[in-house]
Amino acid sequence: MPKQDRLVLLPMPEAATRTAALLSDQVNFIEAPAPDAIPVLKRANMQIVSNVYPHNWPYILNFTRGPFTTFESARRRITPSTATTWWTSSAAWRRLNMPRCAEPAVLRPSGDLQIRQGEGARPAEGRKLPACKVTLAISTSGSGQMQSLPMNELVKQQLEDAGFEVTLNVMDWNALLDVSRSGVPKYPNVDGMNASRGLLDPVSAIIKPVATAYWSPAGSNWGHFGTPEADGLVKQIFEEFEPEKRLALLTRLHEYESEQALMIFVVHDLNPRALSPKVHGFVQAQNWFQDLTPITVDP
């Protein structure tokens, strides 16, 4: 039973607005505070909590046209900043269900770009890159998008330093959901889409993005990726009922997707939250879903 009589949710898309609302005692609990406001919040005795959980923020790519269709060119120019595959090693269900993925196969492209947290992007020494024009659909904010606009601007800058010519097609979250659900049949001119992914189980996380049976709009293989190898592994996974053998096949599919540079993996979300000192009892789960029933708030 919840310990509070009611819960009021206030939509505040701007991180600075959320932060100001918490500091002014307008709210008791905010998602994704502005990163540069964390020291201010701590000085005001606000609680800063975070946790690793199965959620990442990639660019999902169009495999029907454009520069990302060629494996040895544009996709393999990119080493992501902090995420190189679907999950962090501490994601609970992966730790339990995919033990061989504790240190997954990591994409280390033979190509041109290195993006590292705290550093700029730079071409490999002595290599001149041809220009690649790409259009990326992004949202201003939305479910799990963290600090979407500044993060996308940073990635855009890094990609352009590596020879890409990037156009950001900026829209609200509901419009991006239509791009996501309709897929490349409706949006063939979009080369990639930036949307957070909640990795709830192996089927939604690693099977649907590669199997041709899930090509959009019938499923979540947005960019119509498809190879005989991927479909063959998926078939084996669905037909294998011995747990250890199935886990080995899932692990191989996971590694294969990393080898194929299936997406531009950017970052795993820690989902920072800021809570008033009046708030007690909140435990940030290692999960997309959070239990608010234990929370109490001082008068």
pLDDT of res. 201: 82
Q: Across residues 273-298, what is the average pLDDT?
A: 92
Question: What does pLDDT average to over the chain?
Answer: 80
Q: What is the mean pLDDT of residues 241-268?
A: 85
pLDDT digits (tens, 9 = 90+) for 80-135: 444 555 555 544 334 333 333 333 333 333 333 333 333 333 444 434 455 688 99
For residue 247, the model assigns a pLDDT of: 85
- 224 pLDDT band (50/70/90 cuts)? very high
Say which DSSP state 128 is in.
P
Say which residue, 104 or 212, is predicted with more confidence: 212
For 91, the token pair is 């994601």
pLDDT of residue 124: 42
Per residue, what are the HEC states of 38-60?
Answer: HHHHHHCCCEEECCCCCEEEEEE
Q: What is the pLDDT of residue 77?
A: 53
- Residue with token string 């206030």: 10
Output the pLDDT for position 162.
75
Hey, what CATH class is 55-268 in? alpha beta
Q: Is 225 a residue whose pLDDT tops 90?
A: yes
pLDDT of res. 112: 31
Report pLDDT for 131.
Answer: 65
Calpha distance 60→262 (Å, rounded): 8
Instruction: Check residue 95 and give its pLDDT.
Output: 38
Tell me the pTM.
0.73
Tokens for 3? 């310990």
Is 196 a residue whose pLDDT tops 90?
Answer: no
pLDDT at 159: 84
- Both tokens of residue 104? 């997954």
pLDDT of residue 85: 56
Check: CB of residue 283 under 8 Å from CB of residue 291. Answer: yes
pLDDT at residue 152 above 60?
A: yes
Kindly tell me if the per-residue pLDDT of 154 is higher than 70: yes
Give mean pLDDT, residues 51-68.
83
Q: What is the mean pLDDT of residues 67-73?
A: 60
What three-state secondary structure class fits 113?
strand
Residue 296 has pLDDT above 90, yes or no: yes
Once rounded to an integer, what is the mean pLDDT over residues 32-41?
89
Number of Cβ atoms within 10 Å of the Cβ of 187: 19
- Grade residue 166 by pLDDT with cuts at 50, 70 and 90: very high
Measured CA to CA, the distance from residue 48 to residue 15 in angstroms comes to 15
Q: What angle do CA 166, 167, 169 make, to 5 degrees?
A: 145
Pairing of strands 55-61, 113-114: unpaired
Q: Tell me the domain boundaries of the chain.
A: 15-51+273-297, 55-268
Residues in the chain: 299
C-alpha atoms less than 13 angstroms from C-alpha of 100 in its C-beta half-sphere: 13
